Amino acid sequence: MSSITPAPRRALSSTPVLRTALTWGGVVTLVLLVVGGLVGFLVGGAGGLGSALAGVAVSAIFLAVTAASILIANRWFGDPLYVPIFFGIVLGGWLLKLVLFIIAIVILRGQDWVDPMVFYIALVVSVVASLAVDVVVLLRMRIPSVSDVSLPTDPDAGDRRS
């Protein structure tokens, strides 16, 4: 009988990028909640405030689900079933976002306090800000071009078998 030794677990190079993007995305979301709430209140009163907060919150939740699902799925890196687990978790996150989006739209559509224009503008501004955060994080992170590959050691040292 032969036993298969699992590969040692290592952190993927995408993990720090996703964590940084989630952290900065959270900071930007908090700023947008304050600014959007203030502008929404000035434009539409209490309904504008609620609409702006709802728009920013919906956007933040939906954009964070993908990064969070990838971080969760990366915990199985090195497992022989990593690829199906990864795609199952990420696809499950996308399906969850679809269901939550439909529920949010159905619930918010019939509310008297929702100002559709303020909600839409807050949603779009939040999505654009989140995308800008992702771009800045990706441009500033230092990731080696061959990051998740283990290269063989020096053959003269006797660490590699021929």
pLDDT number for residue 148: 58
Q: Which two tokens stand for residue 156?
A: 């003269």
Alpha carbons 58 and 105: distance in angstroms, whole number: 10
Q: Give helix 82-109 / helix 14-73 axis angle, nearest 10°.
A: 80
Q: What is the mean pLDDT of each run of 10 residues along the chain (162 residues)?
A: 51 80 93 96 94 93 88 89 92 92 88 92 94 87 65 60 54
Q: Are 141 and 148 in contact (CB under 8 A)?
A: no
pLDDT number for residue 6: 47
pLDDT number for residue 149: 61
Q: Are 37 and 115 in contact (CB under 8 A)?
A: no
Q: Which two tokens stand for residue 59?
A: 């956007």
> What are the sequence ranges of the domains in the chain?
14-137
pLDDT number for residue 23: 92
Alpha carbons 79 and 3: distance in angstroms, whole number: 15
The model scores a pTM over 0.85: no
Burial status of residue 71 (CB atoms within 10 A of its CB: 0-12, 13-18, 19 or more): middle
